[in-house]
Structure formats: structure tokens, C-alpha cells
Amino acid sequence: MNLKWSTLEHQMQEHGIQSLLITDPKHVYYLTGFLSNPHERFLAAAMTLGEEPFLVVPALDEEAAHAASDISRIYTHTDTDNPYLVLNQALKGSSGTMALEKNHLSVARFESLQEHLTFARYQDLGPWLQDMRVRKSADEIAKIKHAVLLIEQVLKEGLTKVKEGVTENELVAEIEYQIRRLGADGPSFDSMVLFGEKTALPHGVPGTRKLKHGDLLMYDIGVYADGYASDITRTFAFGEPSPELTQIYKAVLEANEQAIRCIRPGVTFASIDLAARTVIDQAGYGEYFMHRLGHGLGIDVHEYPCVHGKNEALLQAGNVFTVEPGIYVPGVGGVRIEDDIAVTPDGVEVLTSFPKTLTILE
């Protein structure tokens, strides 16, 4: 049994839980190494206190599960089996309290559990997993670094297609082609490339806008590789930018760098957000930085912790999150610079290395 399962077992003992059930495929991957998309079929990792953990997988995934996971007990169900009966048998008819993922399990599935299993109570195990996921192991950080390396190569390739008259959609298509070509599993979210006045929309949607001289270009892109996500943003100028856009860029870059300088174990997430916000306030653009500084990054592209002004939790070694200050002035344009960082025992490791100085393409 690996360390993650022992941590869960300890929680079960603490809380008087007899069995636990993991149904989010990302958590099944996190705990067993088996990454899959079961679509509508039933997939779970589970454990009864005092027994080895096991997997319940669709029969067609049996071989893949054996190959990928470090779990030796694997139960299967065909499309005509009732997976809840398989689960109940594997749990050896355990009763009492079951811990499960309230954030993930649908009401329909919960009703099936109640129908076919004999637990009297159900408790949420979401917070236990959140606590575990927020401190990444060296192996997890290495996977995120690889996802960052890949997206930086993708961006480098993607920039070779920048020319006058190209559309946002065409540059997105190039990014997604390179994501596959360079060997990532796929984008970690909808790839975003925006031009000119559209860069003032933090969640703008790429379209048929054509690139013209004097535009800013914003790339916000990421990949999944080996189950872990990257998420980076770089903003460029196409031709000489206006003095105002240059000033906005400088303020965002300084905010990004100032926040990163403050990162170390023991300071609050709120203080990191404030460090960036203070720089942007002093540059006179405070009202145009209207989102949090960043978010955790791992098996989800947005996960705990939230890096915002109300999070008084303390940074710990192993936290991985984004630092992405931005300024968005309607009708003028926007700049965001997003890095991915890991908190180390004595400070910070910046996982992104793509240059941040204002680059004029053309």
C-alpha cells in the first residue's frame, strides 16, 4: 500500500469509517496510476479498513488497468453486469460508514449505492484528498515541469505562424496541432489566442479577428502530459506598441516578478496576491486587475489553493500554483503574464522559462 493509501487509511481510522469509494477518474489516477476516461461506465478505486485497496473497472479496461496501476486486486464488470453488486462483493459486504466524493458522485449513482450496498451513513472525503493534493511530491512536480516544457515548445513553434492578416482561430489551430505533434496528451483547457482590443477580455473567445500592426497578441495555453497540467500566458506586441500598452506591460511584468519574489513557505496566499496588486495599484491600473492572482495546478488545471486576497492559509513546500497578474483596459487592450511555480523548502522554483520581457514580433 503506497503512502497516499496509508494517509487515507489513517483518516478512516480517525473518523470511524469502514469503507471508502473514489469515483473521480482523476483521483483514481492520483491513487492508483491508472488514468482513463470511463465515459458512462462505472470506474472506482475503493478500500475496506484493514484490507488492500482495489479497483472496479469496465471489463474492456482490465488489461490497461493491470498495466498502469500498482493495484493487484482488480474487479471487472461487463456492460450487462450490475457494477454495484461487483463493488459490494469486493467490499465484502462492509457496512457502517462509507466515505465518498460528494463533489463527484451523481445523485443517480448515490441512489444505486444506497440500493445495493448496506452502509448506514455516508461522509465526504473531498477535504482529505484536497489536503493531500495541495502538497505535491517530487514526482508530481517533475510531471508538471514536463507539461510546462511541452507547452513552451508549442508556443515557440506557434509563434512562427504569426503574420499580418492571420486570424486568432488559425493561430489556435497551429497551437493545437503542435500540442499533439510534440507529444502532449492534449490541451489542458480551450487554447486561447486573442488580438488587439480583445486582449482586454480575460476570458475572451478566439475568432476571425485578423492580426494587424500595433496589436497585442495574448496566448493563454496549456497541456496535459502524463495526467498533469500546465497553464501559461504570454503577451506579445505585433509591431511597435503604443506608449500606454508598453506602460501596462511593464506594470504587469513587475507585478508578476514582485509576487514571485515573495513566495516562500510560511507566508499567506493573500500576501502574494497583495504583492502583485500593490504594484498594479501604484501604476494606476488597480481597477483593471479584476481577478485573483492565481490558482493551484496539478491533475486539474484549476485546483486548490486559490491565490487571492482572502486566503489566509500559509504556503507550504510542495504547493504548485500559477502567478498571473493582468491589466485589462476596455477598448485599449490587456496584458497577462502567467507563470507556473512550485514552493520549495526555502523559497520558490519557477517552472516556466519562456522569456517575459516585452517581445515585438514582426
What sign results for the dihedral spanned by CA atoms 144, 150, 156, 161?
Answer: negative
Q: What does the per-residue mask of binding to Mn ion show for 221-260, with x meaning CB under 5 A?
A: ----------x-x---------------------------
Minimum separation from the CB atom of position 297 to Mn ion (A):
7
Instruction: Please state, in angstroms and rounded to a whole number, the distance separating the CA atoms of residues 231 and 222.
Output: 4
Closest to Mn ion by CB, 24 or 220: 220
Minimum separation from the CB atom of position 97 to Mn ion (A):
37
Instruction: Please state, in angstroms and rounded to a whole number, the distance separating the CA atoms of residues 98 and 260.
Output: 42
8-state DSSP, 117: S
Return the number of other C-beta atoms located less than 10 Å from residue 349's C-beta: 13
Minimum separation from the CB atom of position 159 to Mn ion (A):
17
Closest to Mn ion by CB, 132 or 192: 192
Q: Among the candidate windows 29-37, 103-111, 168-176, 315-323, which touches Mn ion by CB under 5 A?
A: 315-323
Nearest Cα residue to 17 out of 88, 76, 100? 100
Closest to Mn ion by CB, 12 or 307: 307
Instruction: Please state, in angstroms and rounded to a whole number, the distance separating the CA atoms of residues 156 and 2.
Output: 39
Please report whether residue 220 would count as binding Mn ion according to CB under 5 A.
yes
Residue type, 47: M
# binding residues, Mn ion (CB under 5 A): 5
Minimum separation from the CB atom of position 313 to Mn ion (A):
19
Closest to Mn ion by CB, 17 or 223: 223
Q: Which residue has the cell 469486493?
A: 90
Q: How many CA atoms within 13 Å lie on the side-chain side of 56? A: 24
- Helix residue ranges per DSSP H, the chain: 3-15, 25-32, 62-68, 83-90, 107-116, 126-133, 138-159, 168-181, 243-261, 269-282
Using CB under 5 A, which residues numbered 321 to 340 contact Mn ion?
Answer: 322, 338
Q: What does the per-residue mask of binding to Mn ion show for 171-210, with x meaning CB under 5 A?
A: ----------------------------------------
Q: Among the candidate windows 5-13, 157-165, 214-222, 282-290, which touches Mn ion by CB under 5 A?
A: 214-222
SS3 220: strand
Residue 56 φ then ψ, to 5°: -115, 115
Minimum separation from the CB atom of position 1 to Mn ion (A):
34
Please report whether residue 140 would count as binding Mn ion according to CB under 5 A.
no
Minimum separation from the CB atom of position 322 to Mn ion (A):
4
Q: Contact residues for Mn ion (CB under 5 A)?
A: 220, 231, 233, 322, 338
